[in-house]
A and B are shown apart, each in its own frame.
Chain A
């Protein structure tokens, strides 16, 4: 048998489909039981239809003929016609066996894997026009997508990339430039299961060669996930994203995001975050908790974004376009004194505001430098000398509060309290500037607040009970309400539902979980930890803050000491 066949060259892998594809296939199948719908042997004679005979079950000597490597079979099958009669009896249905080269369409997993970016798939498609609909459908769809299919196709592509990363244990998931308009929870969910590719073998070898520490050898399987979603058209983000606790790098650059949810606080391992080039008006307060010196975030890029501004820089400053901070305490004090002088001699309220902002910033930094100097004088490891620059990480790492909008108060059921300014979160897009003040005086607090109780309202308590009820969606309670239930109750149940899906909200002042916020305001903070030079629009970045009770507002005690 082997001697009869002309020994062909070994085909390269993956082998090109032979022109005699159907025959070869049938020839191969002859030594199986039958090409039935499954690979199981037929149990009843009726399984094979009218052509059933004992021959279907017994094919004794065929096996010997085809011994050898699989590519040797091809010429034999071509040469021999003795199986033809038998072949005619068989139905052309899925054999249940799939080989790399036969283009059955249940091969989605492997076929599509090579379909992104791989030239081989495209050449296969060109060779086999009748197979285009199967193997190359995704590749073709990529080339000429119809508008309606675009979302599904790109999302499918994202899913494949994630799958690939899961298979390879790759921690860098690059979903940029896919023109994604939305990502579903289901697409991102598998990333939770990602396990770092084991490096045990390498590590053992390395540790023998150079005595490395055990921590290298026993590296955890917990990945440090890097997710790149830049240059897509995302308008909102899936909730699942905030459950990926292992995320260390997240890039959302150049999307169409309008809001970052406060659930970002869940990403306790996030080291790098890029939010540039979106439509953000403010950032969530919770993000600031990640930025502070004790937080994990080392690199945060937020500009450009159409942030609401608290002050308008003009005159000399605007021409300069940036601001440079001195790095030693003497100069810092001097600049502060200069600003104080300018503030006194300026009459226009607009200019006063900008000098107030800068003055506050310099006063805080001067104060911090003084503290560093004092503590070091005792330790005596770094005796402060005149004119010596302080390292940035000592005094510029923690953000500085600059100004806040007046606080908006809400009633217990979430309506705007009377005589309260409109909530900053509803600021229309064409308004770029909000009124702000660098200091809150207690007289600014409405009289009602001073007498308010610190206990949560009964309404709020009931809602919190609903949130903590296990196994029931809050919206399933809606039919249980009487038909004349007030609007506020129905609205509240919807709010509970959203809060529950977001894993609950935390008050930005007292840190307790809540459902309906009672206070809301925006604070501008300076957080440029790694540079002495700052663009004017980066001096104050707005953070939206919400409180769970009327007493959770900046009018009550000091809030800005981090």
Chain B
């Protein structure tokens, strides 16, 4: 039975850590947005939970931090760089590549346009 889409979603890392985020922040990432898209029939969309088999807890925590950082500075003129520990940068780079790591509104708009929603 499909649940209703909630304000908060859960991101689960490969080693079982769960992070609860605001949906608006999480959907900044194109990949997460597509997974949680209510019109798709993905399990993620129905349970409001994304599980990442290839991202561990430490990295996913940083990803969540970025998602909120992005949300916060969306319309700010002078955005300070977020601090990233050097030992994490390679894993984050891979994660960012996987997650489409930024506001991919372009992709979403186009996909929405394809489905006739916009």
Contacts and interface: CB of A to CB of B under 8 A. Distances in A.
Interface of A: 412-413, 417-418, 446-448, 451-466, 469, 477, 480-482, 485-486, 488-489, 492, 510
Given A453-B103, A477-B90, A488 B97 contact: yes
Interface in B62-83: 63, 66, 69-70, 72-79, 81-82
Contacts of B89: 462-463, 465-466, 469
A454 B75 contact: yes
Given A463-B93, A466-B89, A458 B106 contact: no
Size class of the B contact interface (CB-based, 8 Å)? 35 or more
Contacts of A489: 93-94, 97
Nearest to A467: B89
Nearest to B93: A462
A94 to B, nearest CB: 53
A457 B77 contact: no
A453 B97 contact: no
A376 to B, nearest CB: 36
B28 A461 contact: no
A459 B109 contact: no
A452 B30 CA distance: 12
Contact of A454 (B74, B84, B92, B95): B74
20 contacts: A418-B106, A418-B110, A446-B106, A451-B109, A452-B103, A453-B73, A453-B75, A453-B103, A458-B96, A458-B102, A461-B82, A462-B90, A462-B93, A462-B96, A463-B93, A465-B84, A466-B90, A466-B93, A469-B86, A488-B97
B74 A453 contact: yes
A47 B28 CA distance: 81
B50 interface: no
Nearest to B91: A462
Contacts of B66: 458, 461
Contacts of B82: 461
A454 B78 CA distance: 9
Contacts of A452: 103, 105-106
B90 A461 contact: no
Interface string B17-50: 0000000000010000000000000000000000
A520 B77 CA distance: 20
Contacts of B109: 447-448, 451
Contacts of A454: 73-77, 79
A459 B73 contact: no
Contacts of B70: 453, 455, 458
Contacts of B90: 462, 466, 477, 480-481
B46 to A, nearest CB: 27
A433 to B, nearest CB: 29
Per CB-CB distance, the 10 closest pairs between chain A and chain B, nearest first, are: A448-B106, A457-B102, A458-B101, A458-B96, A459-B96, A453-B103, A462-B93, A455-B73, A465-B84, A451-B105
Contacts of B79: 454-456
A497 to B, nearest CB: 14
Contact of B96 (A457, A466, A510): A457
B81 A464 contact: yes
Contacts of B69: 455
A457 B101 contact: yes
Contacts of A482: 94
A446 B79 CA distance: 22
Contacts of B95: 458
Contacts of A412: 96, 100-102
A451 B104 CA distance: 9
B105 A456 contact: no
A486 B105 contact: no
A456 B102 CA distance: 8
Interface string B97-118: 1011111011001100000000
Contact of B97 (A413, A446, A455, A477): A413
A79 to B, nearest CB: 79
A147 B63 CA distance: 57
A453 B30 CA distance: 13
A366 B51 CA distance: 63
Contacts of B78: 510
B52 to A, nearest CB: 14
B85 to A, nearest CB: 8
A417 B97 contact: no
Contacts of A447: 109
Contact of A461 (B77, B84, B99, B106): B84
A92 B8 CA distance: 90
Given A413-B97, A455-B74, A462-B89, A448 B105 contact: yes
Contacts of B72: 455
A355 B109 CA distance: 39
A490 B22 CA distance: 32
Contacts of A488: 97
Contacts of A492: 93
Contact of B84 (A448, A462, A477): A462
A421 to B, nearest CB: 15
A489 B102 CA distance: 15
A258 B44 CA distance: 51
A455 B86 CA distance: 20
Contacts of A464: 81
A494 to B, nearest CB: 13
Contact of B92 (A418, A458, A480, A486): A458
B102 A486 contact: no
